Amino acid sequence: MTTWVFCEEQNGNASPSALELLTKARGWGDVQVFYVGAGSDTAFTQLGDHGSSAVHHLDVGDRLPAAAAAAALAGLVGESDIVLFGMSSTDRDVAGRLSARTGCPVLANAVEIDPSGEEVLVTNEILGGTTRVVTAATAGPVIVVARPKAFPAEQNGGGAPGVTAVPTPDVGHPGGASVLERHVEESEGPDLEAAAIVIGGGRGMGGAAEKWEPVANLASLLGGAVGATRAVVDAGWVPYSLQIGQTGKTVKPDVYIACGVSGAMQHLVGMKDSSLIIAINKDPEAPIFSVSDLGIVGDVHKVMPALNAALENR
């Protein structure tokens, strides 16, 4: 059995999901990476340091990689193998195409993967994270798409892996689509998905600019990142890239402070696994309190300025 981890290069680095999945899978036996991108020594070393012995590198230049990646991957994987993907659009695109090519199902949204028994067991959460379903694949290769942050990424000092170039297969028409432009998300402070502290602002903040300021101030005082609910993003107070939840980002910081957030299921699935959750909401019945370690029933525009002033004076 070989485990394959899919990795799409991101700004010269390995994707965070690949490092998480390598950490999870390296104890199972042989783990190899299928890598898509221009290629960088930094990224390859990151992969080696997280337990990959070998990297298969496909570079399709400016073309969209999924069709070629799936075709090449289908030629490499065997029936007893496991193929792990993250949730980026390229990851999911390749997983779906690989499923079509191999006739094997995709087990999606995984939060746990266990190949130790006779069958590979994959756990996912349904109904807004309230119910866990364990599914076994009965045909291989077993293709799994894992949720971001389901597993922590930890180095084990493996060093530089061997890199083999994979020739670009001819996939005809679907291989013709190409990337015209790339936009890099600009943000100040720590990266939302990696930050140890996240301040999540909701509609209860009451507006953009000065009404939102306490959220940004608290984040900068604690060295954390700013996140938001969909209501806030839809209202245009902050950019879409800050949205946390089902249709936004998944965060798992040490501390999450929810400010004027009601705690809708679609928001909770993106942050409920934070280690410590603190909420400020004027409604004592707000669902956010049911997942909070500390809940302050009060007005964000009274509690937060007092909190920020106290932190400033420390």
Ligand X SMILES: Cc1cc2nc3c(=O)[nH]c(=O)nc-3n(C[C@H](O)[C@H](O)[C@H](O)COP(=O)(O)OP(=O)(O)OC[C@H]3O[C@@H](n4cnc5c(N)ncnc54)[C@H](O)[C@@H]3O)c2cc1C
What is the contact surface with another protein in residues (CB under 8 A)?
103-105, 107, 121, 125, 129-139, 196-197, 222, 254-255, 257, 272, 275-276, 278, 280, 284, 289-299, 302-304, 306-307, 310-311, 314
- Which of 32, 46, 52, 243 is the binder for ligand X (CB under 6 A)? 243
3-state secondary structure of 212: coil
User: Positive or negative CA dihedral for 201, 203, 208, 214?
Assistant: negative
* Residue 25 to residue 3: CA distance in whole angstroms: 7
User: Any idea how long the chain is?
Assistant: 314
User: Does 264 sit near ligand X (CB under 6 A)?
Assistant: yes
Token pair 């028409």 in the structure block, residue: 173
User: Does 130 sit near ligand X (CB under 6 A)?
Assistant: no
Residue nearer to ligand X on the CB measure, 43 or 277: 277
Specify the amino acid at residue 249: K
User: Does 112 sit near ligand X (CB under 6 A)?
Assistant: no
Residue nearer to ligand X on the CB measure, 71 or 199: 199
How many other C-beta atoms are found inside a 10 Å radius of the C-beta of residue 79? Answer: 11
262 binding partner (options another protein, ligand X, none; Cβ < 5 to 8 Å by kind): ligand X
Q: In sequence order, which residues have a C-beta less than 8 Å from that of residue 12 and are 6 or more positions away?
A: 40, 42, 43
* Residue 132 to residue 121: CA distance in whole angstroms: 12
| H or E, element range at 216 | helix 213-222
User: Does 113 sit near ligand X (CB under 6 A)?
Assistant: no
- Which of 267, 289, 292, 307 is the binder for ligand X (CB under 6 A)? 267
- Region from 13-21, 29-37, 212-220, 259-267 binding ligand X, contact rule CB under 6 A: 259-267
Residue nearer to another protein on the CB measure, 177 or 276: 276
3-state secondary structure of 124: strand
* Residue 290 to residue 240: CA distance in whole angstroms: 26
Min. distance of Cβ 149 from another protein in angstroms? 16
User: Which parts of 195-234 interact with ligand X (CB under 6 A)?
Assistant: 202-204, 229-232
Q: Which residues bind ligand X (CB under 6 A)?
A: 202-204, 229-232, 243-248, 260-262, 264, 266-267, 270, 280-283, 286, 299-301
